[in-house]
Structure 1
Amino acid sequence: MSKARTPGGAMRSFSAWRLADKAKTQLTEIAEPFHLMWRFSLTSFAIISGVAIGLAWFSTRFLVNESLERDALLSAQFIQSIAVGEIRHHDLTGMKMGDVLSAERYGMLDAQTLANRQRARTEFLDHLANLPDLLLASIFSANREVIWSTNPQLIGRKVKEDGPLEAAFSSGGRVSARYDEVDPERTEQQFTRPAKMFFVENYIPLLDDQGKVLAMVEIYKEPVDLIERLERGRGLIWIATAIGGLIIYLGLFWIVLRASRLLAQQQDQLVANKTYGGLVEMSTAVAHSLRNPLASIRSSAELAQATPGQPAVRNINDIIAQVDRMADWVGELLQCLRPLKGEAESVDLVTSIHEALSVFWPRLDQLRIQTVLDIDGPVAVTSHRLLLGQVLNSVLANAIEAMPGGGTLHLTLQRNGPDVLLFIDDSGPGLTRQQQMAAFKSFYSTKQGGLGIGLVMVRQVMEHFGGHATLQNLSPKGTRASLRFRVEIQPFNRRTG
């Protein structure tokens, strides 16, 4: 007859199911990773490129404008100085160059003064015609008529509705403009030779003593040397801006890369903590739920075994062995899931190693495994005596099980600054890449019937006391378990999960 399911068993099964569902829900609630590097790479590149291009454009424009303004100022000062010099040189005191350039005749002037006026006019115009990089030079009278020009076809023409010319006459100051090509609407832009690059236009007023504009000198120049210097300066600005932007981008990229890796580690830790938390709750409930049924099964099997003339003794023995095996699993599971307890203390690592090895001497002799010890003692490390014994027992058991046909077990102690490294090497077949990556994951085991919590406990204990545990392959074969211990006793916070 089959036994009816008890309400307590149903409740335990329902509780375990709810815990498993809760663990699954916690895992699905973990947000997808924020692609920090991908977003930063695009966003920062766009922003830094935009800022760099803007700065380079502004800098080059400022350089060009300031250089042209400076050139125009020098040209104006040069022409005005020539005008003053010609007036003084030809003893035309009381006259201005505007009066000299004017076509009007003054009846009160004597013959010598008229001759000096003509010579001053000729020499001044000759200076204008021979200015370097000149495309066109013209002189306008107060009524906007061209009274002289290096292009004879413009002499006698009146210019109307010319904004820069009117601005120069009305302000009585210097006016400059830049052009990239000839403006067909500007009647006075009739050069004797075509411009190869951009050219500049300067209006330079010639004033009387009251500040009235007597004549306006218009000069079109193509400053080849200045343009070449500007191009070199522009190139240097763009190169410097590009290098500066690249350096800033790489610096920020390095910072964000480190932050991204830290966030990825924290996110992995968060996933591991949530996974571990759900597994702890589910596994604890399952383990406690299994203990009573296992105890009942073992008691019933022992009673059946004690019955005289029992024909199924072998089967009963097998039942008891399997129940004990499951009980060991449950005990190991609860031990792994139980929070670590034990304050940090100074423990002699060499003594703990010898105590752990003493448990395995019979098995080492049986498997014909040679043991080599390169340890010098005593070596005081920060740990807990009982927990350290569990760590060494677990690592030594794994190393011995990797050599079922015999081999060499090599233990080495090495000091590394404030740390002590313990290397436990075996001559087994080594680990695959997958085994090496998953060795410290919960419930992962390559052993037949193994629960996969031994190395998890090893890492938890080591990190609890500020140490670390790793596995790596040796060449040409074998595996090395590295345990790093702190020498000085320091307060450590237990890592979550």
Structure 2
Amino acid sequence: MQELNPKLADEGRSTQVAPDRTLREFNLLRWFSVVSLLIIASVAVGLGYVSTQFVVNDAVERDAMLTAQFIQAMAKAEVRHSRIPPGTTMAELLDPRLDHEHPYVSADLAASTRIEFLDHVEHLPDTLLSNVYALDRTIVWSTNPALIGQKIVGDDDLDESFNSQVPVSASYHKANEDREEQKFQREPEYLFIENYIPMFDDSGTKVLSMVEVYKEPRDLVRRIQRGYVLIWTSTLLGGALIYFGLFWIVRRAASMLQTQQTQLVASETFVALGEMSSAVAHSLRNPLANIRSSAELAQEIASEHSQKNIGDIISQVDRMSRWVRELLVSLRPLKDDAEAVDLRAAVDDTCHAFAQQIERNKVQLQVSAPEQALVVSQPVLLTQILNSLFSNALEAMPGGGRLTLDVVELTSERQFQLTLSDTGKGMSQQQERMVFKPFFTTKQGGLGVGLVLVKRIMERFGGAVSLTSRIEEGTRVCLTFKIATGGDHGAQHPGGRG
């Protein structure tokens, strides 16, 4: 035997796999779930971070502004309290090295005024450390005596405040060991603020000294922490609410799109099959009629031996004609005209129509239904549903059995429920899942459109159909009808109009 070229085999496999890859459906719900979660989470985290930073920065700046205003006002008040001559400010008195250089202020008065002011600075609430810098960046006073006399070089914030003549503040979570002026006598617990407060001369245009205050505003920290909790909780809840709201909308839209797509495919299939079946039916009707007529004529003059064969011909022709009719009916567009139809009357008519076959198959029939049950349907279509279900049930019990039909009213749901149960051969789970698929059948020679048509009719009038079955135990079909209200047309008997 000639061996197959491996290269050609690979190419064959690739041509078979490629269409599967190109036909993969776009899963809207899955992609939305992932992408929207990433986007909303990113936006929520970004908003939360920006909001918390704004809260911290705004709180720190406001605290620094209040501290600067308080110290500058306190300095002016001490100068007035000590009756310092006009033209001299606290900024000139903070450097003890210049006590003897003030022309109108004695050294003792300068020292006492300075001590009073620094005592207020030292006892500011939540203070970790306070320093006073002279113009040459030397610490001339500090709550930490070890720092007095040290000259600080390379402090950008200190230089900025001297040069810009405005208070400069910064917040920290941990002391910087490389900075000599951050030598606290106790370690801060969470957040501390560094404030550089410039002290001006009498003209207010030149900075002569600088007051540095390190504060740990515990009340402010508690407020910031509460703000953190509030912001992040609101952000997470808001993001979750937006995500699940959009998820619900997209999930519903995806479900509707999938349903519409399925209905569209089914409609296109039924339209194509309808055109095909119509052409086939018109082509077969006349030949089948001629065959049946010829067979009937031949049966009249045929011998007794040939009677059985001719009868089989007529039986098979009738079966083919019935297939053609079922195919045409199943593929014909259904009308939406809903009517109030008496379900009990339809059941009685169907039982009467199948009475001979029920007796011939030795089937026990049990019917339980109210005297009148008005449902939303159409008389002809309702009769067709019941005929199809009865036919299937009787064919499943060729050797006899029990056929039970119950009609009950579901008052709370405004529905009538019809349950048809047989004790026939039943179906497997796989067959049960496929039973409402077009052209799927478990009967030899069946067409596979009966239950499909039942499902289409029930759904068209707002009802539903379900089926459960077990092998060798039987099948149970449940039909749910909407109860007809006063807005529907008058009750119709399945056999004809009113």
Shift of 1:335: 2.6
For 1:482, the equivalent position in structure 2 comes to 479
TM-score normalized with structure 2 length: 0.79
Gaps of 5+ in 1: 1-26, 492-497
For 1:287, the equivalent position in structure 2 comes to 281
Task: Name the CA distance, whole Å, in 1 between partners of 2:422 and 2:296.
Answer: 43
Matched position secondary structure for 2:380: helix
Give the alignment partner of residue 37 of structure 1, picking from 16, 29, 36: 29
Shift of 1:474: 8.6
1:124 aligns with 2:117: yes
For 1:80, the equivalent position in structure 2 comes to 72
For 1:454, the equivalent position in structure 2 comes to 450
Matched position secondary structure for 1:457: helix
Give the alignment partner of residue 263 of structure 1, picking from 253, 257, 265: 257
The question of whether the paired residues in 2 share the 8 Å contact of 1:418 and 1:487 is answered with: no
Give the alignment partner of residue 98 of structure 1, picking from 80, 87, 91: 91
Task: Name the CA distance, whole Å, in 1 between partners of 2:336 and 2:190.
Answer: 84
Q: How does 1:422-461 map to 2 (within 5 A)?
A: 422-428=417-423, 432-461=428-457
The question of whether the paired residues in 1 share the 8 Å contact of 2:338 and 2:376 is answered with: yes
The question of whether the paired residues in 2 share the 8 Å contact of 1:467 and 1:486 is answered with: no
Task: Name the CA distance, whole Å, in 1 between partners of 2:118 and 2:440.
Answer: 99
For 1:375, the equivalent position in structure 2 comes to 370
Matched position secondary structure for 1:117: helix
Shift of 1:382: 3.8
Task: Name the CA distance, whole Å, in 1 between partners of 2:336 and 2:89.
Answer: 105
Give the alignment partner of residue 309 of structure 2, picking from 305, 315, 322: 315
For 2:39, the equivalent position in structure 1 comes to 47
Closer, same or farther: CA 38–370 of 1 in aligned 2, 3 Å: same
The question of whether the paired residues in 2 share the 8 Å contact of 1:56 and 1:241 is answered with: yes
Task: Name the CA distance, whole Å, in 1 between partners of 2:302 and 2:371.
Answer: 59
191-200 vs 332-341, greater mean Cα deviation: 191-200
Aligned residues: 461
Once the two structures are superposed, what CA deviation does each residue of 1:108-160 show, in whole Å capped at 9, x if it has no partner? Answer: 447xx543321221232233344455444222233444332345555445555
Q: Give the aligned CA root-mean-square deviation in angstroms.
A: 3.6
For 2:8, the equivalent position in structure 1 comes to none
The question of whether the paired residues in 2 share the 8 Å contact of 1:91 and 1:116 is answered with: no
Task: Name the CA distance, whole Å, in 1 between partners of 2:155 and 2:102.
Answer: 34
466-475 vs 94-103, greater mean Cα deviation: 466-475
The question of whether the paired residues in 2 share the 8 Å contact of 1:431 and 1:479 is answered with: no
Task: Name the CA distance, whole Å, in 2 between partners of 1:295 and 1:477.
Answer: 38
TM-score normalized with structure 1 length: 0.79
Closer, same or farther: CA 237–343 of 1 in aligned 2, 3 Å: closer
1:67 aligns with 2:64: no
Shift of 1:482: 1.2
Give the alignment partner of residue 249 of structure 1, picking from 237, 243, 248: 243
1:210 aligns with 2:216: no
Matched position secondary structure for 1:34: coil
Shift of 1:388: 2.5
Matched position secondary structure for 1:84: helix
1:171 aligns with 2:164: yes
Shift of 1:316: 3.5
Shift of 1:302: 4.8
Closer, same or farther: CA 107–263 of 1 in aligned 2, 3 Å: closer
For 1:414, the equivalent position in structure 2 comes to 409
261-270 vs 292-301, greater mean Cα deviation: 292-301
The question of whether the paired residues in 2 share the 8 Å contact of 1:402 and 1:426 is answered with: no
1:277 aligns with 2:271: yes
Matched position secondary structure for 2:354: helix
Q: How does 1:284-363 map to 2 (within 5 A)?
A: 284-299=278-293, 301-302=295-296, 305=299, 312-340=306-334, 343-363=337-357
Percentage of pairs with the same residue: 44
Shift of 1:193: 5.8
Shift of 1:390: 2.0
1:149 aligns with 2:142: yes
